[in-house]
Amino acid sequence: MIKIAKLLIVLVLFFCFQLTQAQQNKNKDFFNIKAPAIEYTSPNPDDVLFEEDLVDSSGTSEKYEMLPVKEPNLLEDQEDTVFFDDADGELSVVEVNEEVNMDSVWVTIAQYYAIWDSRTINPYKIDGADFKDTITFVLYDSTAGGHHHWSMPMTYNKINSRFGMRKYRWHYGTDLDLTIGDPIKAVFDGIVRIVQYDGRGYGRYIVIRHYNGLETLYGHLSATNVTVGQLVKAGEEIAKGGNTGRSTGPHLHFEVRYEGNAFNAEAVFDFPNNTLQSKKFQLTPYHFAYLKEARKVYYHVVKKGESLGSISRKYRVSISSLCKLNRITTKTVIRAGRKLRIR
């Protein structure tokens, strides 16, 4: 019996030793496992949004509706979903989990709005002069159940100044006459991308990104009624007209843009008749052909008695811009006969 007991003890100890060795080998194998590589991707700024939803394979426009089911809280504490860092131009991404229902397909805001910048009017880094396509935009759809409307920017839309060359500077918008305090309306359904103040230019202004793929800018406002990330409907009052920024009198500076590049708003809106030019709009390279003229360089030959200040006032170019364009400082002596670049 004693021999049998000793044998059982030896067998138990041997079995325990084998279990311990197996566990050690298992742990050793576990710690030798390498974690899989993680692939990080960023939104592609060259992606064309909205276009594929507008035209089917036969070339006819389909009903285009984007109805947000709930209002997302896009930008808590005014943070950007996606933005370009002004300091080094790098693309930064902020995680966003909010979702909206568009055409019955759930997509995240970060995916749908591939580039989102609440500070810069044109963050896309796309040159309109290189535009080679023809894109059809469905501006409104009366069969879309009331979710794809349009509106004029104001009740009355009298043009004060058109898109085009103004003396020695290119005017990228259409100026509409108003009285300070007149209501300004969103022209299409969309989402507010920028609410800012630019004392040397647009004054108080708003940029709205629309579901149809266009963006609109409203400048020289006296007050704003919306915040960044807010969903707005066509005809909704977004601001009050004013005379802020670089403005010689009360008016609305109104722009229409595609991928950051402005084109003549009169191609879309018939301002005198208070209506759209058409239900659909075709954007072609013709609409950006003006850029060749707009980018021409202009010089001024300094006359006796002129100064940087007087030249700045004459051409409505800031002294700092003149210095930068001509690589001079405010202390540089400007002599008669010298050519100064003004644009």
pLDDT in tens, 216-230: 999 999 999 999 989
What pLDDT score was predicted for residue 215?
95
Q: Tell me, what amino acid is at 107?
A: V
- Reported as a single tens digit per residue, the pLDDT across 66-117 is 333 334 334 433 333 333 333 444 433 333 344 444 433 333 444 445 788 8
Provide the number of structural domains found in the chain: 3
At residue 170, the 3 state secondary structure works out as strand
Write out the residue range of the structural domain in which residue 99 sits: 51-120
CA distance 292 to 281: 23
Mark which of 99, 120, 141 sits at the end of a domain.
Answer: 120
Asked, for residue 69, whether it belongs to a domain, the answer is: yes
What pLDDT score was predicted for residue 223?
97
Same domain, 206 and 319: no
Asked, for residue 229, whether it belongs to a domain, the answer is: yes
What pLDDT score was predicted for residue 176?
96
| CATH number assigned to the domain comprising residue 239 | 2.70.70.10
Same domain, 236 and 274: yes
Same domain, 191 and 251: yes
Same domain, 185 and 288: yes
Asked, for residue 93, whether it belongs to a domain, the answer is: yes
What pLDDT score was predicted for residue 89?
41
The model's pTM is: 0.63
Same domain, 286 and 164: yes
Same domain, 218 and 113: no
| CATH number assigned to the domain comprising residue 306 | 3.10.350.10
Tokens representing 329 are 């400082």
Asked, for residue 323, whether it belongs to a domain, the answer is: yes
Residue with tokens 């880094």: 125
What pLDDT score was predicted for residue 83?
34
What pLDDT score was predicted for residue 99?
45
Asked, for residue 308, whether it belongs to a domain, the answer is: yes
- Reported as a single tens digit per residue, the pLDDT across 36-64 is 333 333 333 333 333 223 233 333 333 33
Same domain, 164 and 258: yes
Same domain, 246 and 323: no
What pLDDT score was predicted for residue 322?
84
What pLDDT score was predicted for residue 8?
62
Same domain, 193 and 261: yes
Asked, for residue 96, whether it belongs to a domain, the answer is: yes
Same domain, 177 and 238: yes
Mark which of 293, 310, 329 sits at the end of a domain.
Answer: 293
CA distance 235 to 215: 15
What pLDDT score was predicted for residue 14?
63
Same domain, 197 and 304: no
Same domain, 96 and 190: no
Asked, for residue 37, whether it belongs to a domain, the answer is: no
What pLDDT score was predicted for residue 56?
34
Residue ranges in the chain whose pLDDT is less than 50: 26-112
What pLDDT score was predicted for residue 61?
37
What pLDDT score was predicted for residue 90?
40
Asked, for residue 20, whether it belongs to a domain, the answer is: no
